Structure 1
Amino acid sequence: MKMVGSPGCSPAGFLLPLLLLEVSTWYSAVSGFSVKGPVEPIMVLLGANATLPCQLSPEQSAADMHIRWYRTQFSPAVFVYQNGQEQGGEQMLEYHGRTELVRDSINRGGVALLIQHVRASDHGQYQCHFKDGQSSQEAIVELHVIGLGSVPHVHMMGPEDGGIRVLCSSDGWFPKPKVQWNDMLGVNLQSLSESQTQDEDGLFHVEASLVVMDSSLGNVTCSIQNPLSGQEKVSCIFLPEPFFPKMDPWKAALAGTVPVLMLLLIGISYTGWREHQAKEKEVKKKKRELNERDQMKNEKEMAQKATEKLKAELEQRKALYLEDWKKALLYPGSICIALFQTGGRNTSSVPM
């Protein structure tokens, strides 16, 4: 990978240029030539100059060709070369005065677009288009703009939640950077909050805060890293132990006692709940037994009443029978009538 203005960086390559290279090679059999761009992105520091090369294959002069550099749309373009000179009529306004065609190798089919004072808005994909008569080919060139912001400014904001709140801020990053807090042993610390905003030039301003609770950490480090180049800038701050909020002795004792009290309260509540459940069960059992006894008593009383009623009816019938019998003895002629009235089943007559 080629990087201008920032040595020692090795970002991962991209597969798309390789695919386009194969397609353009296939088309060269029809058009008579193909266009090749760099396989890996061109990486340039913000404000530096970027050179985006393209090469005809097989080698041939491109001096009389129509060469156009554009981005998402064919026109307006980033740069247009035709009839041996630059054509400014179709050029995008933001590239006026910042671009030129490097023609040192144009007779061998090699040209490059020079972009001066690279901005964040220049980041992205470019197409270099060659046209010779009715034949045309193009290739893609990827430009990555690297904005390394300022050294992080780290300072204490004050006590918060029993610890110290620390703020880390920095300007001028592109693209959106990564922020990481670490303790003195290199262990990652979780940010309390983080915000990243872009200014008018598209550069990111970063703010990240952290609440340090452990007074024994000594110092903490804020590192901000560019995701494309891997370059980072780091600042650390020392946190003196006396700066941490002091906990009152009664608060410390309470902090140790409260968990024990909570456990005891939970145990007591559970025991009380079990006893309450057992009492409710016992009450329900007694109530059920009482209902059963009342039911048996009612049934017994009803049976007794029925027996007494039947006995009374029998006594009444017996009394009526005896009375009728006495009448029959006194008045023999009426025995048949008496027997009939008392329900007797013997219908034989007795002589008078």
Structure 2
Amino acid sequence: MENASIIIRHTKLTDSGNYICDFPGRQTSHIQLVVDGPLKDRRGENIPGAAPEPYIRILGETKDGELLQCVVRGASPKPKVEWKDSSGNILPAKDPQVSERGGRYDITLQTTVTETGNYTCVSTQEEINHQIYAETFVSINGGIFNTVTIACVIVIGVLFLLVVVLAVILCRRNNRQRGRY
């Protein structure tokens, strides 16, 4: 057996596949070449099925926090969709809603956040080394503290109004008793 090597430069994802090395009269070797590049936004490369930028909506406040929704449409192959916080940590999310039509996938993923900050929806298609994301900023208004603050302001306002009304009534009563009214 003889040693041989081959160097392949400037490979592309489409170079992946099975190759045969034939040493005439000696040996035939079968080689599977896997070109696995970095995940990156391939939107400008016109790769069929590459997911477009996710669409993010802030659905509103719930009792648990702010509800966020991410929608990825028309992707093929099926992407993995995740929510991440500003540190890159994957956030817990509801089970994704997935629909498929003609080999293209629409995926909707929701999560609830409880802290003010930047949140990112990431769509990853490892088979074509495509990753794309959208980011949003969420401001949490203070949750229960905010509700308690509003209630306190209302109670203080009502008490102040009662004090003013009582002061007016007492002033009128005093004026009547003195005959000035």
Report the TM-score, using the length of structure 2 for normalisation.
Answer: 0.56
What CA deviation, in whole Å up to 9, does each residue of 1:257-302 have, x standing for no partner?
Answer: xxxxxxxxxxxxxxxxxxxxxxxxxxxxxxxxxxxxxxxxxxxxxx
Q: Which structure exhibits the higher relative contact order, with contacts defined as CA atoms closer than 8 Å and separated by 6 or more residues?
A: 2
Matches of 1:37 and 1:232 in 2, distance apart? Answer: 32
Change (3 A) 1:150 1:202: same
- Partner of residue 54, structure 2: 152
CA apart distance, 1:222? 0.5
Q: Where do residues 4-23 of structure 1 align in structure 2 (5 Å cutoff)?
A: 17=18, 21=20
How far has the Cα of 1:236 moved from its partner? 0.9
Q: Which has the higher helix share?
A: 1
Aligned length: 129
Match of 1:164 among 63, 66, 71: 66
List aligned pairs for 1:193-232, cutoff 5 A. Answer: 193-199=95-101, 201-213=102-114, 215-216=115-116, 218-232=117-131
Q: What SS does the corresponding residue of 1:187 show, helix, strand or coil? A: coil
Unmatched segments (≥5 aa) in structure 1: 5-9, 50-144, 251-352
Please state how far the C-alpha of 1:212 moved relative to its aligned partner: 0.7
Higher strand share: 2
Aligned pairs for 1:1-352 (under 5 A) are 1-3=11-13, 17=18, 21=20, 39-40=32-33, 147-199=49-101, 201-213=102-114, 215-216=115-116, 218-242=117-141, 245-247=143-145, 248-249=147-148
TM score, norm. by length of structure 1 = 0.31
Stretches of 4+ moved more than 3 A in 1?
Answer: 1-4, 36-43, 244-250
In 2, the alpha carbon distance for the partners of 1:37 and 1:172 equals 37
The runs of 5 or more residues in structure 2 that have no matched partner are 1-10, 37-41, 150-181
Q: 3-state SS of the aligned residue for 1:228?
A: helix
Q: Tell me the alpha carbon deviations over residues 1-54 of structure 1, each in whole angstroms, 9 at most, x when there is no partner.
A: 5335xxxxx9xx66xx35xx47xx69x98xxxx9x99944799x9xx99xxxxx
SS at match of 1:232: strand
The CA RMSD measured in Å over matched residues stands at 3.8
Identity of paired residues, percent? 19
Change (3 A) 1:175 1:38: farther
What is the CA distance between 1:228 and its match in structure 2?
1.3
How many Å apart are 1:162 and its aligned residue? 2.5
